[in-house]
Amino acid sequence: MGRLGVGVAVGCATAACIVAAAMVGKRVRRRRKWRKMVKVLEELEESCATPVGRLKQVVDAMAVEMHAGLASEGGSKLKMLLTYVDKLPNGSEKGTYYALDLGGTNFRVLRVHLGGQRSAILGQDIARQPIPQHLMTSTSKDLFDFIASSLKDFIEKEGNFSEQPSPGRRELGFTFSFPVKQSSVSSGILMKWTKGFAIEDTIGRDVSECLQLAMSRKGLDVRVAALINDTVGTLALGHYNDEDTVAAVIIGTGTNACYLERADAIIKCQGLLTTSGGMVVNMEWGNFWSSHLPRTSYDIALDVASPNPNDQGFEKMISGMYLGDIVRRVLLRMSEEESDDFGPSSSKLAIPFVLRTPLMAAMHEDDSLDLSEVAKILGEVLELPDVPVKVRKLVVKVCDVITRRAARLAAAGIVGILKKIGRDGSGGIASGKFRSDRPTRMRRTVVAIEGGLYTSYTLFREYLDEAMMEILGEEVSSHVILRVMEDGSGTGAALVAAANSPSEADRVQLQ
The answer to whether 273 and 510 are in contact (CB under 8 A) is yes
The answer to whether 489 and 230 are in contact (CB under 8 A) is yes
CA distance 228 to 507: 17
305-309 long-range contacts, Cβ below 8 Å, gap at least 24?
A: 305/352
Q: Position 241: which residue type?
A: N
CA distance 309 to 301: 10
DSSP string, 236-291: HHHHHH-TTEEEEEEESSSEEEEEEEEGGG-GGGTTEE-SSSEEEEE--GGG---T
Q: Which of 145, 230, 341, 366 is catalytic?
A: 230
Helix (H) or strand (E) holding 227: strand 222-228
Q: Which of 60, 86, 108, 405 is catalytic?
A: 108
Helix (H) or strand (E) holding 447: strand 445-450
Closest by CA to 99, choosing from 386, 385, 498, is: 498
The answer to whether 129 and 108 are in contact (CB under 8 A) is yes
The answer to whether 471 and 59 are in contact (CB under 8 A) is yes
Query: Does the annotation mark 108 as catalytic?
Result: yes
For 54-167, list the strands marked E by DSSP. Answer: 81-82, 94-102, 106-115, 121-130
CA distance 347 to 493: 45
Query: Does the annotation mark 230 as catalytic?
Result: yes
The answer to whether 407 and 464 are in contact (CB under 8 A) is yes
CA distance 374 to 86: 48
CA distance 461 to 46: 22
Query: Does the annotation mark 177 as catalytic?
Result: yes
CA distance 69 to 62: 10
How many Cβ atoms sit within 10 Å of the Cβ of residue 117?
Answer: 12
Q: Which of 140, 150, 177, 347 is catalytic?
A: 177
Closest by CA to 125, choosing from 110, 140, 136, is: 110
Beta partners for residue 106, in sequence order: 130
Q: Where are the alpha helices (DSSP H) in 48-182?
A: 52-71, 140-156
Spell out the residues 6+ positions from residue 154 whose beta carbon is closer than 8 angstroms to its own.
109, 111, 125, 127
Q: Which residues are catalytic?
A: 108, 177, 230
